Chains A and B, each alone.
Chain A
Amino acid sequence: MGCGATVAEMAEASSDAARIAAEARDRVRFEEEALALADQVYSVARHLAGAREEAEDLVQETYARAFRSWRSFQPGTNLRAWLLRILTNLNIDRGRRQQRAPQMQPLEANDYFLYDKLAHDDGGATDEDRVVERLSQDDIVSALSAVPHDFRDVIVLVDLGDFSYQDAAQILDIPIGTVMSRLHRGRRILKRELAESVAEDVR
C-alpha cells in the first residue's frame, strides 16, 4: 500500500478490522457457552468412558477440538449435542469400542421384575420411593458401568442426558430405530444388573 493508500484501500482495511473484531466476539461467546455446558458434558463422558481419567482426557480433547473448529458450529443449533458428537467420535477413534456384536444374553421377559424383587424383599413395602431407595448410589453407578457400551451410550444420552431419540441418533450416528431398540434392551439390562446388586447386598 505504501504511503499512497487510497480511500478505497483504507475503507477495506477498516472493514477488515471490524470483521475481525466481530469474529473475535463470536468466538468468545462460543467458548463461554461451551464452557457453561462442561458439567453436563463431563457427566455424560463419565459414563461413556470406563474410568474417570479417561473421561477427563476425553472431555479435554473434546474442548480442544471444539475451540479449534468452532466455526463449523451453526449458531442456534444444539451446542450440547454438537459437543457430544465430537466426544462420541473421539471415543470411537480411541478404539475403545472394538467389541462390536453386543452380547445377546437372554433378558427377563417382563419389565416389572425389579420392582417385584425389591418390594418382595422388603416385605411388601407400599411406598414406591422407599422401594427405590433400597438401591445405593454405588449400586446404580456400577450397574450402569456393567451395561455393554452400545446400550449404555443410548441410556446415558436419553435417560441421563435428556436427549431426544432423534438427537441421540445423530450424536451416535445410528438410525432412530436402533436408538429405540437399544434403549429398550439397555434399560432391561440395567434393571437386571440392579437386581443382581441387591441380591449381593443381601448376601
Chain B
Amino acid sequence: MTEIHDDPCAHCEEMMQPYLDHILSDEEMREAEMHLDECDWCRRRYRFEESLRRYVRQAANQPMPAELKLKLAALRIPLE
C-alpha cells in the first residue's frame, strides 16, 4: 500500500516525528533516510528538531528545592 506523494519534502516532513520517535517500519525508515541523504533542506529541519527536543528537555529540567527533599525524607514511616 504505497501512497503516491507528489512532494517528497512534504512527505518527509510528515515522517519526521515518527522517525525521531523510532516508530517507523524498516521500510519507511529507509524511505525517509533515502530522501534525507539527498535533501539538505529536509536534513537541516530534522537536525533542528532533534536539537530542539534536546534543548527543551534541558531547559525544562527543574532542580528540586533542597527543603522539599528534607520534607520528603521526613515523611518516611519510622521503624518501631
Closest Cβ of chain B: how far from A87's Cβ, in Å? 13
Q: What is the interface size of chain B, counting residues whose CB is below 8 A from a CB of the partner?
A: 33
Please report the C-alpha to C-alpha distance between residue A68 and residue B77 in the assembled complex, in whole angstroms. Answer: 8
Establish whether residues A60 and B61, one from each chain, have CB atoms under 8 Å apart when the complex forms: no
Q: Return chain B residues, CB-CB under 8 Å to A190.
A: 56
Q: Return chain A residues, CB-CB under 8 Å to B62.
A: 42-43, 46-47
Closest Cβ of chain B: how far from A25's Cβ, in Å? 10
Task: Taking A42-B64, A160-B56 as given, write out 4 further A-B residue pairs in contact, using a Cβ cutoff of 8 Å, ordered by the A residue number.
Answer: A110-B13, A111-B17, A115-B45, A128-B48
Establish whether residues B68 and A59, one from each chain, have CB atoms under 8 Å apart when the complex forms: yes
Closest Cβ of chain B: how far from A117's Cβ, in Å? 11
Q: A39-B64, A60-B68, A132-B48 are in contact. Are A111 and B13 (CB under 8 A)?
A: yes
Establish whether residues A111 and B16, one from each chain, have CB atoms under 8 Å apart when the complex forms: yes
Establish whether residues B75 and A128, one from each chain, have CB atoms under 8 Å apart when the complex forms: no
- Interface stretch, picked from A3-11, A96-104, A133-141, A167-175, is A133-141
Q: Return chain B residues, CB-CB under 8 Å to A63.
A: 72, 75
Q: A39-B63, A42-B64 are in contact. Are A59 and B72 (CB under 8 A)?
A: yes
> Using a CB–CB distance below 8 Å, which chain B residues touch chain A?
10, 13-14, 16-17, 44-45, 47-53, 55-57, 59-65, 68-69, 71-73, 75-77, 79
Closest Cβ of chain A: how far from B21's Cβ, in Å? 8
Q: Return chain A residues, CB-CB under 8 Å to B76.
A: 31, 35, 67
Establish whether residues A67 and B13, one from each chain, have CB atoms under 8 Å apart when the complex forms: no
Closest Cβ of chain A: how far from B55's Cβ, in Å? 5
Establish whether residues B72 and A135, one from each chain, have CB atoms under 8 Å apart when the complex forms: no
> Using a CB–CB distance below 8 Å, which chain A residues touch chain B?
24, 27-28, 31, 35, 38-39, 42-43, 46-47, 56, 59-60, 63-64, 67-68, 110-112, 114-115, 118-119, 126, 128-129, 131-133, 135, 137, 140-141, 144, 156, 159-160, 184, 187, 190
Please report the C-alpha to C-alpha distance between residue A88 and residue B60 in the assembled complex, in whole angstroms. Answer: 19
Residue of A nearest to B58 (CB): A137
